[in-house]
Structure 1
Amino acid sequence: MSHTAHIPSHRKPRRSASKLALRAGVTGGVLSTLAVAGASGAANAAEPVTQTIELPTLTTDLSSQVARSADATQQAAANYQLQAERDEAFAKAADQAKKDQVAAEKKAEAKKKAEAAAKEKAEREAAQQAASRSSERTTLSAASSSATTTTAAAPASGSVGAVISFLQAQVGDAYVMGGTGPNSWDCSGLVQAAFKQAGVDLPRTSQEQSTFGTSVSLSNLAVGDILYWGGAGSAYHVGVYIGNGQYLDAANPSKGVVIQDLSGYPASGAVRAL
Structure 2
Amino acid sequence: MSHTAHIPSHRKPRQRASKSALRAGVAGGVLSTIAVAGAAGPAQAEPVTQTIEMPTITSGFSTAVAASAQATQQVALDLETQADEDAAAEKAAKTAKKAHAEAVRKAEAKKKAEAAAKAKAEAEAKERAERASRTSERTTLSASSGSSDSGSSASAPSSSSSNVSGSAASIVAFAKAQVGDAYVPGGTGPNSWDCSGLTQAAYRTAGIDLPRVSQSQSTFGTQVSLDNLQPGDILYWGSAGSAYHVAIYIGGGEFVGAQNSNTGTVQRSLDYDRPTGAVRVL
Whose Rg is larger?
1
Query: The TM-score by the shorter chain falls in which range?
Result: 0.3 to 0.5
TM-score, length-scaled by structure 2? 0.46
What is the TM-score when the length of structure 1 is the normalising length? Answer: 0.48
